[in-house]
């Protein structure tokens, strides 16, 4: 019997040894290797191609993982939430910056930014217009942007003309957008009057709703400026929901409940919609002649809203993971990928949306590339940008989720505007109590 | 195997040494490694998952986790979204499995006959099974696209206007059920066809001599003989349908609203979108218990039928 037990233990031990042999080795060489995680997009795909240049300059190897948007949250949770130290640098976007900082998954970068031996002043001076300050949380900078956006209204000039609207005098308020959408909506010729995000996947529709809510004066705070998140029964939220529901159920294409920004962009490019409210980073693709039928016929408008900072400022940046053991090298990589040189390359390649650095926009080559009307609308929007458009608390994603489900119910006719938003408000209260 | 052959085979095995039939050490060494691998890969994660269900643990909370006992389960008992997802799961499972059984039986009966091209058809109907569920989900999402989907195009040829298959709360779940019926009915056919083809023809001949034919033959002879196979198909399909995730996630992501947020998706959103891994694990534990609860009676029926 003893022999059997011993043999069994030996067998299990041998298996464990064999299994452990399958685990990746910890390296052992002196050469540093960094792991970088980003959301898959044309911009990050381009960044990936520039990484070998960084390795050539510094000798630091970089493994790049590009994950589709829909799977990014799960990837964060598994790789950063477990503290496994799988990544050294990760992409942070406006929608999850609050969660990443509240969870202490990424570290403040001020010590690197202030250290002249690690960061030349020419690097920081390229971020003008308070971009870094606007991204700061509690006075600390956690991410360096490689793309800065602000929502704006894109419109098809030809459709404006055909509908008797002046393409040089586009709508600048949501009320005007509603009125124009009504005139532009022509389902009989397959033309929708308006487009925004409708799908609840990735909480996308809540982004469109928040854009409108900010314009209507909505903020994540009460009258005294204290944080408040159960705001869906307030006037700004009610007005926004009615406008969103009207635009999306009356003047958007059928099936818009399944549209994310990818479907919206395709519909605009194919000339199936007259107006589209979304982030500025998505604009340049409308002028891409190889993909867009409306290239050269796109108008851009910065919308006006109530109060200050009424524009949702979508920012994509790079952050150093809190648990990294290669922080100096990680900072070198962040600096490289957010440098002027890389920014210009991104802009000239036409994949980078709007560069995070303002000094990139002053480059003569880049200036030639962008439509002056787009740059004008972007500059106007950025003046009123609000990077904290998502609740800056760990439950922020869950709150956005509750709004997304409510909007999706409204679009699919599962619930009335009021019932859906009241239910979501109760859900938010429940989330906050946890 | 004849007695002589068995004797010869027994003779050929060494009585002593590593490969001896009586050497237990050999068996332990052979069974040990796969057992250890299975244990590490299944029992350990399962135990950890059940334990996680007892924790108050939000990944986004730097404070980490605390032991909460049955708190997550008590919260689930009063959580409307949880019960909504259980109801949707029950609807999805019942409709999918019923349709798969009915259609699967019809196809199996057809393919059990010998006719020209039967051999070819028996291979072709397996095609959906070869596709990965994510690809199937994407394919159906494209087919059912309101503006450019093939389904709406074909309907437009007979004068039917655009149908929002995945965006309409009343149509989204039936669309998902349809996609899974397409994907998994071949699996039911394989099992039922194997049962039909292994039934001795003498049984049918005897029944025919007794005057049975057509539906009577099917109801009184084929169906009772196929009972173990039908139950086996039900067992596999019910277990698979309860934990169906990939096609639903790709096609609707639980929407519109929460019209297709089944238990599996609800657990996923809770754990991996809202980071409440404790509650997510508790939902998974409940799901496991449901699968056990549904499977054991069917298993017992299979044993009885055999």
Domains by residue range for chain B, with CATH: 3-52 (no CATH), 81-305 (1.10.3720.10)
Q: Which A residues 12-31 touch B at CB under 8 Å? A: 12, 14-16, 18-19
In terms of domains, do A109 and A38 share one? yes
In terms of domains, do A179 and A322 share one? no
In terms of domains, do A276 and A305 share one? yes
Give the pLDDT band (50/70/90) at residue A6. Answer: very low
Give the pLDDT band (50/70/90) at residue A369. Answer: confident
Question: Across the interface, do A255 and B147 touch by the CB < 8 Å criterion?
Answer: yes
In terms of domains, do A143 and A158 share one? no
In terms of domains, do A107 and A193 share one? no
The answer to whether A334 and A318 have CB atoms below 8 angstroms apart is: yes
- Which residue numbers of B have CB closer than 8 Å to A's CBs? 24-25, 28-29, 31-33, 35-37, 40, 58-62, 145-147, 162, 164, 166-169, 172, 252-259, 269, 271-277
What's the pTM value of the predicted model, to 2 decimals?
0.76
Structure confidence at residue B9 (pLDDT): 54
DSSP E strand stretches across B9-79: 55-57, 65-67
The answer to whether A421 and A395 have CB atoms below 8 angstroms apart is: no
Mean pLDDT of B271-280: 88
Mutate to test the interface with B, among A245, A414, A423 (most CBs of B within 10 A): A414
Structure confidence at residue B8 (pLDDT): 53
**Closest chain A C-alpha to B240 CA, distance in angstroms:** 23
Question: Across the interface, do B167 and A411 touch by the CB < 8 Å criterion?
Answer: yes
In terms of domains, do A123 and A204 share one? no
A344 phi/psi in degrees, rounded to 5: -65, -45
Q: Which A residues 299-358 touch B at CB under 8 Å? A: none
Question: Across the interface, do B257 and A258 touch by the CB < 8 Å criterion?
Answer: no
| Length of chain A, in residues | 434
**Closest among A419, A287, A412, A274 to A353, alpha carbons compared:** A287
Structure confidence at residue B6 (pLDDT): 52
Structure confidence at residue A28 (pLDDT): 40
Tell me the pLDDT of chain A averaged across its residues: 86
Interface contacts A/B by beta carbons within 8 Å: 145
**Cα A412 to chain centroid, rounded:** 25
A349 part of a folded domain: yes
Question: Across the interface, do A412 and B255 touch by the CB < 8 Å criterion?
Answer: yes
Res B15 pLDDT > 60: no
Res B203 pLDDT > 70: yes
A26 part of a folded domain: no
In terms of domains, do A176 and A237 share one? yes
Q: Please list the residues that pair with A152 across neighbouring strands.
A: A278
A11 part of a folded domain: no
In terms of domains, do A39 and A177 share one? no
DSSP conformation class of A171: -
| Length of chain B, in residues | 306
In terms of domains, do A281 and A307 share one? yes
Res A364 pLDDT > 60: yes
Distance CA A434, CA B36 (A): 39
A84 phi/psi in degrees, rounded to 5: -70, -15
Question: What total number of domains does chain A contain?
Answer: 2
Q: Is A65 helix (H, G, I), strand (E, B) or coil?
A: strand
Give the pLDDT band (50/70/90) at residue B20. Answer: low
Structure confidence at residue A399 (pLDDT): 93
A78 part of a folded domain: yes
A123 part of a folded domain: yes
Which range among A206-220, A257-271, A368-382 has the greatest average pLDDT? A206-220
In terms of domains, do A304 and A335 share one? no
A276 part of a folded domain: yes
Distance CA B57, CA A165 (A): 55
- What CATH number is given to the structural domain containing A404? 3.40.190.10
Structure confidence at residue A351 (pLDDT): 63
Could you report the per-residue pLDDT of B73-125, keeping only the tens digit for each? 999 999 999 999 999 999 999 999 999 999 999 999 999 888 888 888 888 88
Res A220 pLDDT > 80: yes
Domain of A294 in residue numbering reads as 151-312+395-433
**Closest chain A C-alpha to B191 CA, distance in angstroms:** 35
B70 phi/psi in degrees, rounded to 5: -95, 15
A8 part of a folded domain: no
In terms of domains, do A350 and A408 share one? no
Report chain B residues whose CB lies below 8 A from the CB of A19: 36-37, 40
Give the pLDDT band (50/70/90) at residue A5. Answer: very low
A221 part of a folded domain: yes
Res A1 pLDDT > 50: no
Mean pLDDT of B33-44: 91
In terms of domains, do A277 and A185 share one? yes
Distance CA A96, CA A94 (A): 6
Structure confidence at residue B3 (pLDDT): 56
């Amino acid at each position: 019997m003893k022999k059997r037990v011993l043999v069994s233990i030996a067998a299990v031990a041998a298996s464990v040894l064999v299994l452990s042999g399958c685990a990746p080795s910890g390296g052992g060489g002196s050469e540093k290797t960094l792991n970088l995680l980003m959301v898959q997009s044309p911009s990050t795909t381009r960044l990936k191609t520039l990484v070998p240049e960084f390795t050539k300059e510094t000798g630091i190897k970089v493994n790049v993982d590009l994950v589709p948007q829909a799977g990014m949250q799960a990837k964060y949770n598994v790789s950063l939430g477990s503290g496994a130290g799988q990544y050294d640098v990760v992409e942070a976007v406006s929608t999850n910056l609050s969660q990443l900082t509240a969870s202490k998954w990424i570290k403040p970068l001020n010590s690197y930014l202030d250290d002249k031996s690690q960061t030349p002043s020419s690097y920081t001076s390229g971020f003008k217009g308070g971009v870094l300050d606007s991204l700061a949380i509690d006075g600390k900078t956690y991410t360096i942007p490689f793309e800065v956006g602000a929502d704006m209204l894109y419109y098809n000039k030809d459709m404006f003309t055909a509908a008797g609207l002046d393409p040089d005098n586009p709508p600048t308020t949501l009320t005007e957008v509603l009125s124009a959408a009504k005139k532009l909506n022509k389902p009989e010729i397959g033309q929708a009057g308006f487009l925004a995000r409708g799908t609840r996947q990735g909480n996308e529709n809540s982004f469109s709703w928040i854009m409108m809510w900010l314009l209507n004066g909505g903020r994540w705070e009460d009258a005294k400026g204290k944080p408040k998140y159960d705001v869906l029964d307030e006037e700004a939220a009610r007005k926004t929901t009615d406008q969103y529901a009207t635009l999306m159920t009356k003047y958007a294409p059928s099936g818009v409940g399944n549209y994310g920004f990818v479907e919206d962009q395709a519909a605009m490019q194919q000339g199936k919609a007259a107006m589209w409210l979304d982030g500025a980073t998505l604009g340049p693709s409308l002028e891409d002649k190889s993909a867009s039928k409306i290239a050269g016929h796109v108008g851009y408008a910065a919308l006006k809203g109530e109060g200050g900072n009424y524009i949702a400022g979508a920012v994509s940046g790079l952050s150093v993971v809190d648990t990294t053991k290669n922080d100096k090298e990680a900072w070198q990589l962040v600096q490289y990928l957010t440098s002027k040189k890389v920014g210009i390359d991104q802009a000239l390649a036409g994949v980078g949306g709007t560069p995070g650095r303002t000094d990139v926009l002053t480059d003569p080559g880049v200036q030639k590339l962008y439509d002056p009307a787009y740059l004008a609308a972007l500059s106007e929007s950025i003046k009123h940008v609000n990077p904290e458009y998502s609740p800056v608390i760990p439950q922020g994603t869950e709150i956005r989720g509750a709004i997304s489900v409510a909007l999706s119910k409204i679009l699919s006719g599962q619930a009335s505007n009021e019932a859906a938003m009241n239910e979501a408000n109760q859900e938010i209260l429940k989330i906050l109590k946890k | 195997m004849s007695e002589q052959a068995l004797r010869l085979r027994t003779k050929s095995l060494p009585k002593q040494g590593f490969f001896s039939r009586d050497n237990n050490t050999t068996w332990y060494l052979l069974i040990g490694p796969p057992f250890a691998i299975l244990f590490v890969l299944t029992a350990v994660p399962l135990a950890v998952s059940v334990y996680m269900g007892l924790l108050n643990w939000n990944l986004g909370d730097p404070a980490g986790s605390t032991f909460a006992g049955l708190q997550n389960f008590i919260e689930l008992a009063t959580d409307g979204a949880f019960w909504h997802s259980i109801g949707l799961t029950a609807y999805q499972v019942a409709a999918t499995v019923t349709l798969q059984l009915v259609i699967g039986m019809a196809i199996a009966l057809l393919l059990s006959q010998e006719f020209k091209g039967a051999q070819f058809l028996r291979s072709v109907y397996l095609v959906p099974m070869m596709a990965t569920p994510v690809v199937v989900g994407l394919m159906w999402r494209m087919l059912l696209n309101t503006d450019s989907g093939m389904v709406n195009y074909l309907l437009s040829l007979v004068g039917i206007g655009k149908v929002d298959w995945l965006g309409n709360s009343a149509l989204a779940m039936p669309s998902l059920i349809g996609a899974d019926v397409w994907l998994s009915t071949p699996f039911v056919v394989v099992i039922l066809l194997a049962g039909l083809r292994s039934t001795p023809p003498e049984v049918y001949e005897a029944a025919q001599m007794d005057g049975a034919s057509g539906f009577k033959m099917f109801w009184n002879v084929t169906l009772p003989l196929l009972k173990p196979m039908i139950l086996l198909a039900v067992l596999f399909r019910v277990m698979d349908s309860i934990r169906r995730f990939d096609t639903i996630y790709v096609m609707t992501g639980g929407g519109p609203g929460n019209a297709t947020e089944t238990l599996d998706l609800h657990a996923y959103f809770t754990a991996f979108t809202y980071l409440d891994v404790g509650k997510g694990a508790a939902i998974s534990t409940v799901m496991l218990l449901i699968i056990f609860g549904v499977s054991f009676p069917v298993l017992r029926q299979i044993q009885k039928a055999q």
